């Protein structure tokens, strides 16, 4: 029984072909396309307003050099939000529950921020490894610790997103199973459990959006240190 709970996180196959590619490309088809007209419909207007708000919030702590990343970061955040939200629908697969996919997003973008810092301001980038005013005996230890923390950043990005979504999906499936088991025996308890399930689903909707925002926000903070 416990093995079946984790079957939802296995990448589905059809005729030996992994369907994760379809799950990744499908969200791009769902977005409304802006037209060349001066007046758009309400959906496109709301979409443009939300994108502008997200962009302003993300680019606020960055200088002009970091604004070149606005399109990439905002597109990534909208993409992650859409995948996470679609994964909450019944009989769907959530690609962001796969650590390999999240690491594929985290490692290249983190490495790009490090390379930019080393190229344009190597003194400042290397200065983060040694805080100012450090006692001389502690310098080697702190350099090792800061270097390890630097390389743990992409792992933390990927694991955080994977763990939060995986835990939420497992909890929803466990409580939903409990509702079906308790319904014929204790209907009152089953109804209360179903209420908890509904509230948990609302919480998971918020988590799906917040985790995508946190993923991109941390990337912007890493970029802020290097531009």
* Alpha-carbon distance values, 6 to 11, 40, 174 (Å): 11, 44, 11
Q: Which of 216, 175, 224 is nearest to 75 (CA)?
A: 216
Tell me the two tokens of residue 31: 């977005």
Ordered DSSP codes for 86-152: HTTSTT---GGG-HHHHHHHHHHHHHHHHHHHHHH-HHHHHHTTS-TT--GGGHHHHHHHHHHHHHH
pTM of the prediction? 0.84
Q: Give the pLDDT confidence score for residue 5 in this predicted structure.
A: 65
Mean pLDDT along residues 157-179: 90
- Mean pLDDT (the chain) is 84
Q: Provide the CB-side half-sphere exposure for 115 (13 A, CA).
A: 6
Q: Over the stretch 171-203, which tens digit does the pLDDT of each residue have?
A: 888 898 889 888 888 889 889 999 999 999 999
Q: Give the residue, 97 or 43, on which the prediction is more confident.
A: 97
Is the model's pLDDT at 2 over the cut of 70? no
Q: For tokens 């610790």, what's the residue?
A: 145
Q: Is the CB of residue 56 less than 8 Å from the CB of residue 115? A: no
Sign of CA dihedral 146, 62, 68, 121: negative
Tell me the two tokens of residue 63: 């200088």
Q: Is the CB of residue 163 less than 8 Å from the CB of residue 103? A: no
Residue 17, helix vs strand vs coil: strand
Q: Over the stretch 12-54, which tens digit does the pLDDT of each residue have?
A: 777 777 778 777 887 777 777 766 777 677 877 888 888 888 8
Q: Give the pLDDT confidence score for residue 1 in this predicted structure.
A: 43
In the chain, what percentage of residues exceed pLDDT 70? Answer: 94
């Amino acid at each position: 029984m416990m093995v079946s709970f984790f079957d939802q996180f296995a990448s589905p196959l059809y005729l030996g072909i992994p369907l994760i590619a379809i799950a990744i490309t499908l969200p791009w088809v769902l977005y409304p396309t802006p037209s060349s007209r001066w007046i758009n419909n309400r959906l496109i207007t709301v979409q443009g307003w939300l994108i502008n708000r997200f962009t302003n919030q993300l680019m606020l702590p960055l200088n002009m050099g970091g604004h070149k990343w606005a399109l990439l970061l905002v597109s990534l955040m909208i993409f992650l939000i859409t995948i996470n939200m679609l994964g909450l629908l019944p009989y769907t697969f959530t690609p962001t529950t796969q650590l390999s996919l999240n690491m594929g997003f985290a490692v290249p973008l983190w490495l790009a921020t490090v390379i930019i810092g080393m190229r344009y301001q190597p003194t400042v980038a290397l200065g983060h490894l040694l805080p100012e005013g450090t006692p001389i005996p502690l310098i080697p230890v702190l350099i090792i610790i800061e270097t390890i923390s630097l390389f743990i950043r992409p792992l933390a990005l990927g694991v955080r997103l994977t763990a939060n979504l995986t835990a939420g999906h497992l909890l929803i499936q466990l409580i939903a199973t409990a509702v079906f088991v308790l319904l014929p025996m204790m209907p009152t308890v089953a109804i209360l459990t179903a209420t908890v399930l509904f509230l948990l689903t609302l919480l998971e909707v918020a988590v799906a959006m917040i985790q995508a925002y946190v993923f991109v926000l941390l990337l912007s903070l890493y970029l802020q240190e290097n531009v």
